[in-house]
């Protein structure tokens, strides 16, 4: 005979959905670290351009950096 006071099996914890994360605005610290990473990457590419010249590989890397910077500037952080 089954009683009503038996514990129910627990469901496994679910990870937050990716949609929730993308809707959240990044903090200023997160934005600063992303921009800092872009600057470091840009410095590396510029050093490669100075030594190797502007080949297709370096041109592609520069275009990728340019696109990332445009995305970062599309939504400027809000200051209070």
b/e 21-54 (16+ beta carbons within 10 angstroms → b): eeeeeeeeeeeeeeeeeeeeebeebeebeeeeee
- For residue 80, the SS3 value is coil
The tens-digit pLDDT sequence of the chain (80 residues) is: 556 666 666 666 665 555 555 577 878 888 888 888 888 888 888 888 889 888 888 888 888 888 888 877 666 556 54
Q: Where are the alpha helices (DSSP H) in 1-80?
A: 18-23, 28-52, 56-74
Per-residue pLDDT at 46: 87
Q: CA 75, CA 13: separation in Å to the nearest integer?
A: 33
């Amino acid at each position: 005979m089954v009683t009503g006071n038996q514990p129910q099996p627990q469901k496994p914890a679910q990870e937050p959905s990716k949609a929730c994360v993308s809707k959240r605005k990044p903090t200023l610290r997160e934005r600063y670290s992303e921009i800092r990473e872009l600057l470091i990457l840009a410095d590396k590419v510029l050093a490669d351009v100075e030594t190797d010249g502007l080949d297709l590989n370096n041109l592609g890397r520069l275009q990728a950096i340019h696109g990332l910077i445009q995305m970062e500037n599309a939504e400027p952080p809000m200051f209070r």
